[in-house]
Structure 1
């Protein structure tokens, strides 16, 4: 099993921080600190802490910044990094971005969004949930109070995910998908095909819509509740401020 990070997005709501950097490389350490850690740093550290030795990173917007740091990141975290180019990063949404990594899915992956600050306990929870035929396991926050923007999930006992979408009444949701998934190698072909159908239907769709496509095809997508932990998806400057508060805890 290897790590996989989606780091191709432009992060327009984080400008001016993302004028020259992808979201995954925006510093989340103390503001103004030199050599501040980034979301990518934190994610790579988590992967290394659970014993992974290889990580693939999907890059696109300002990808040259990731290429420039590749060797230093490999040395810092003891990981072998493979960078995968997304040629439509500034045109299409992330269903296509994950599909670009379809070849590495066959190794089994822990997938993390490049804008999610979270503790290593999330990866540990996903790894502990393996087995009993589970092929795709989503990290689910069942504690947080939800609003309109969150990626909401409805589950059914014994059947896993029934719905995953932002377009849902928060009161109907079981919890929020936090942007980290364990994908077993056995699910690679089914997921790649679902992602392809998703972005061909509408290139603005999310990879989570690919998960919904799998569910609609009768395939099972499971969840693992992460408990009461501090995490944040960094979409805007308010999120970035929260990310800095959380990052210093880990």
Structure 2
């Protein structure tokens, strides 16, 4: 199994940082100097659970990731593969994950490049393996939800029934936090669902690909992460929260 980070996005709401950096490289160290980024935190999590390889899907300002590749490999003891997304500024992340389709057959722990989270999330996913589970989503069942969150309805014994932002928060079981364990056995099905998703509409999310799988009768499971501090960094308010959380890890 390897780690996989989606880091192709522009993150325009984080300007001026993202004038020159992809969102995954926006500084989350308290001083904002760049000694710590979301990509750093995620790679550190991968190393802590014993992974030795990771891949990063890059696109917008990818040269910044290429420039840091050797340093990141040495710092975290990981062999990194960079996967180019040629449509990062045109299409949404269903296509971005599809770009890494050849790696899915190795089994991956997927993490969005804008999610600050502790290594306990990856450990929760690993603990949930087995029993025929092929895709397991990290789910926050404690947070009070609003309109912007990626909401999930899950049923005991049946897994995910719906995953979308376009849902009444009161209906949701919890929020998908942007971290997934994907077993090798799911690779072909997921790649096909992602292709169908971005061919239907290139602006769709990879979570819409997950819904495509559910609609085809594929079972996606969830692993509750408990009450842990995490944040998806979309804007400067999120960034301030991310810096406060990153200090704890």
Q: Is the 8 A contact 1:117 1:247 kept in 2?
A: yes
The answer for the alignment partner of 2:246 in structure 1 is 247
- Looking at structure 2, the residues matched to 212 and 131 of structure 1 have their Cα atoms a distance apart, in angstroms, of 22
The answer for the alignment partner of 1:3 in structure 2 is 3
- Looking at structure 1, the residues matched to 84 and 35 of structure 2 have their Cα atoms a distance apart, in angstroms, of 25
Structure 1 position 31, deviation (Å): 2.6
Structure 1 vs Structure 2 CA RMSD? 0.6
Map 1:62-73 to 2 at 5 A. Answer: 62-73=61-72
- Looking at structure 1, the residues matched to 32 and 91 of structure 2 have their Cα atoms a distance apart, in angstroms, of 32
- Looking at structure 1, the residues matched to 171 and 29 of structure 2 have their Cα atoms a distance apart, in angstroms, of 36
- Looking at structure 1, the residues matched to 119 and 200 of structure 2 have their Cα atoms a distance apart, in angstroms, of 35
The answer for the alignment partner of 1:19 in structure 2 is 19
The answer for the alignment partner of 2:205 in structure 1 is 206
Equivalenced residues, count: 249
Render the CA deviation track for 1:34-78: whole Å, top value 9, x for unaligned: x52000000000000000000000000000000000000000000
- Looking at structure 2, the residues matched to 43 and 197 of structure 1 have their Cα atoms a distance apart, in angstroms, of 29
Map 1:89-238 to 2 at 5 A. Answer: 89-238=88-237
What SS class does the counterpart of residue 28 from structure 2 fall into?
coil
Render the CA deviation track for 1:222-244: whole Å, top value 9, x for unaligned: 00000000000000000000000
Q: Is the 8 A contact 1:126 1:181 kept in 2?
A: yes
- Looking at structure 1, the residues matched to 31 and 60 of structure 2 have their Cα atoms a distance apart, in angstroms, of 23
Render the CA deviation track for 1:151-200: whole Å, top value 9, x for unaligned: 00001110000000000000000000000000000000000000000000
The answer for the alignment partner of 1:43 in structure 2 is 42
Q: Is the 8 A contact 1:138 1:223 kept in 2?
A: yes
Structure 1 position 213, deviation (Å): 0.2
- Looking at structure 2, the residues matched to 155 and 30 of structure 1 have their Cα atoms a distance apart, in angstroms, of 37
- Looking at structure 2, the residues matched to 230 and 72 of structure 1 have their Cα atoms a distance apart, in angstroms, of 28
In structure 1, list runs of 5 or more residues that go unmatched. Answer: none
What SS class does the counterpart of residue 69 from structure 2 fall into?
helix
Render the CA deviation track for 1:109-166: whole Å, top value 9, x for unaligned: 0000000000000000000000000000000000000000000000111000000000
Displacement over 6 Å in runs of 4+? none
- Looking at structure 2, the residues matched to 14 and 169 of structure 1 have their Cα atoms a distance apart, in angstroms, of 27
- Looking at structure 2, the residues matched to 178 and 29 of structure 1 have their Cα atoms a distance apart, in angstroms, of 21
Structure 1 position 30, deviation (Å): 1.1
